């Protein structure tokens, strides 16, 4: 057999192909075994800093080793120093769910390893991305202006942080560009994710022009405070350039009052960005669409299929209502990146929608997940999580030792111990040290709080019950 270039057998490609056939099944068997063991593994690692490095050779190998040896080391050295994000006992942070269709898609992505920086560098990588992101607009009931068949469209970013950062850059561009930075102001709630503040720094906005707007009793942005901040700045001769609203804050899953925010933002001409990194997947379910009211006024919107849709990290979707500002902010086309289709404006070049040039073929993961899982199964997982969270709220809320510290929302409940911060943190540490579950802390109203996010795809009701029993035991 010869390959299309006429080279005989024995080429590098042939020997790589043979290696995939020989070792692919073994590596997949390792992964399958990992998934079988997941439930029994302590969720968090029990290692001190430097644990792994002290066990690795000081210098890199100079000749090939056996795959079996490397896999054995993964088992002995890597797995014990992992946090098992796919564990059914993972209730920490927000989840980073993957699923077998996503893992298989990642194999195809790595196995073909294209760089889809522009349409010309792999037309399928661009067109599949455009297509599945249009599917998601329809599946989630998002505003039609985010579809690619008008001036808007979607793009996959690595993370919500990148999505938010490029939205800030687009807003800066629309407001007049770098030269106007001394006038431009940015607004978000004091409970917004830190990625908005970080993105504002990266986009060049002045730190003293970032307004962290106070929140109400439910930790949602207070529209009156936003209105006052906008008015003060305008009176001082500044120009509001960007308002970042959140549907589902990290600390407590609070939902900012988007219709009010949208109205105020519209009056000032500022860019409205909506961050629904975690909660965004809930829009797959009709009954949660009310949380997204007002989104049709947003200039940009991001959510993370890598959190709650079973598409492995990294996959964050950014939609814009009008892609022109994004492209104006990010497009630089040297000769070596030009193509006839680009020059004719016939194609999307996603390199102009992101900070980096190179990009992985991430839409494969979304495509595989939607085709092999189906939207209905994802909806049903989300509904289970929401229902189990409500049951957890009932149980914790009726236990006098616990105070539910924020209005429960979707799959997150926040509690604090009635005896105060020290007890709250003692219980949190004891849960995490037990290895039987993993939880994280936040602070609300200056008090330490335990966040319980029932969002791991592998979690069943019995795992939530086991966590509640453990909390009962330790409280």
Interface ranges with ligand PLP (CB under 6 A): 94, 159-161, 193, 195, 246, 248-250, 275, 277-278, 304, 316
For residues 31 and 107, the answer to whether their CB atoms sit within 8 Å is no
For residues 451 and 251, the answer to whether their CB atoms sit within 8 Å is yes
Q: What is the DSSP letter of 7?
A: P
Q: Whole-number minimum distance, CB 343 to ligand PLP, in Å?
A: 34
Measured CA to CA, the distance from residue 318 to residue 306 in angstroms comes to 13
For residues 172 and 184, the answer to whether their CB atoms sit within 8 Å is yes
Q: Whole-number minimum distance, CB 319 to ligand PLP, in Å?
A: 15
Q: What is the DSSP letter of 122?
A: -
Q: Whole-number minimum distance, CB 245 to ligand PLP, in Å?
A: 11
Nearer to ligand PLP, 226 or 254 (CB): 254
Q: Whole-number minimum distance, CB 195 to ligand PLP, in Å?
A: 5
Q: In what order do the strands lie in the sheet with 271-275?
A: 153-157, 316-320, 300-303, 271-275, 239-246, 184-189, 210-213
Q: Which two tokens stand for residue 378?
A: 């994802």
Nearer to ligand PLP, 233 or 275 (CB): 275
Q: Which residue do the tokens 């000081």 mark?
A: 58
Q: Which residue do the tokens 């008090």 mark?
A: 447
Nearer to ligand PLP, 274 or 347 (CB): 274
Q: Which two tokens stand for residue 41?
A: 């593994």
Long-range contacts of the stretch 231-235 (C-beta < 8 A, 24+): 233/185, 234/268
Q: Whole-number minimum distance, CB 200 to ligand PLP, in Å?
A: 14
Nearer to ligand PLP, 198 or 423 (CB): 198
Nearer to ligand PLP, 277 or 475 (CB): 277
Nearer to ligand PLP, 304 or 354 (CB): 304
Secondary structure in 3-state letters for 146-181 = HCCCCCCEEEEECCHHHHHHHHHHHHHHHCCCHHHC
Q: Which two tokens stand for residue 240?
A: 């509001």
For residues 392 and 132, the answer to whether their CB atoms sit within 8 Å is no
Nearer to ligand PLP, 313 or 470 (CB): 313
Q: What is the DSSP letter of 467?
A: H
Q: Which residue do the tokens 């002290």 mark?
A: 54
Measured CA to CA, the distance from residue 410 to residue 428 in angstroms comes to 22
Nearer to ligand PLP, 115 or 159 (CB): 159
Measured CA to CA, the distance from residue 363 to residue 268 in angstroms comes to 36
Q: Whole-number minimum distance, CB 151 to ligand PLP, in Å?
A: 26
Q: Whole-number minimum distance, CB 247 to ligand PLP, in Å?
A: 8
The closest of 23, 119, 105, 21 to 71, measured between CA atoms, is 23
Q: Whole-number minimum distance, CB 376 to ligand PLP, in Å?
A: 26
Q: Whole-number minimum distance, CB 175 to ligand PLP, in Å?
A: 23
Nearer to ligand PLP, 222 or 275 (CB): 275
């Amino acid at each position: 057999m010869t390959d299309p270039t006429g080279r005989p057998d024995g080429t590098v490609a042939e020997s790589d192909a043979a290696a995939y056939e020989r070792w692919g099944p073994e590596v997949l068997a390792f992964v399958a075994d990992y998934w079988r063991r997941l439930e029994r593994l302590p969720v968090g690692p029990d290692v001190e800093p430097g644990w792994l490095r002290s066990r690795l050779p000081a210098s890199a190998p100079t000749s090939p080793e056996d795959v079996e040896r490397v896999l054995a080391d993964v088992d002995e050295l890597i797995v014990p120093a992992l946090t098992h994000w796919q564990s059914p006992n993972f209730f920490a942070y927000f989840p980073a769910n993957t699923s077998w269709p996503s893992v298989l898609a990642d194999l195809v992505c790595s196995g073909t390893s294209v760089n889809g920086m522009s349409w010309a560098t792999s037309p399928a990588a661009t067109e599949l991305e455009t297509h599945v992101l249009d599917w998601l607009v329809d599946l989630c009931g998002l505003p039609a202006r985010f579809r690619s068949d008008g001036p808007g469209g979607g793009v996959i970013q690595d993370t919500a942080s990148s999505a938010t950062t490029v939205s800030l850059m687009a807003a800066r561009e629309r407001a007049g560009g770098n030269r106007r930075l001394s006038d431009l102001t940015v607004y978000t709630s004091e409970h917004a994710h830190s990625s908005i503040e970080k993105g504002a720094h990266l986009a060049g906005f002045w730190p003293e022009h970032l307004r962290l707007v106070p929140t109400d009793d439910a930790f949602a942005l207070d529209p009156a405070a936003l209105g006052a901040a906008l008015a003060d700045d305008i009176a001082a001769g500044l120009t509001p350039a960007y308002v970042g609203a959140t549907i589902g804050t990290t600390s407590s899953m609070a939902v900012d009052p988007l219709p009010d925010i949208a109205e105020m933002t519209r009056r000032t001409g500022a860019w409205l960005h909506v961050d629904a990194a975690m909660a965004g997947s809930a829009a797959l379910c009709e009954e949660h669409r009310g949380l997204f009211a007002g989104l049709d006024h947003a200039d940009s919107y991001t959510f993370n299929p890598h959190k709650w849709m079973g598409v492995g990290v990294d996959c964050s979707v950014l939609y814009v209502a009008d892609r022109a500002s994004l492209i104006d902010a990010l497009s630089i086309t040297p000769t070596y990146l030009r193509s006839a289709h680009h020059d004719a404006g016939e194609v999307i070049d996603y390199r102009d929608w992101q900070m980096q040039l190179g990009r992985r073929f991430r839409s494969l993961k979304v495509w595989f997940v939607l085709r092999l899982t189906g939207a209905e199964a994802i909806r049903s997982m989300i509904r289970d999580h929401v229902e189990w969270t409500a049951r957890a709220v009932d149980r914790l809320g009726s236990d006098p030792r616990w105070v539910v510290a924020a209005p429960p929302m979707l799959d997150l409940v926040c509690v604090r111990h009635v005896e105060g911060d020290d007890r709250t943190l003692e219980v949190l540490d004891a849960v995490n040290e037990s290895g039987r579950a993993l939880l994280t802390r936040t602070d609300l109203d200056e008090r330490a709080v335990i966040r319980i996010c029932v969002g791991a795809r592998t979690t069943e009701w019995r795992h939530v019950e086991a966590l509640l029993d453990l909390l009962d035991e330790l409280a």
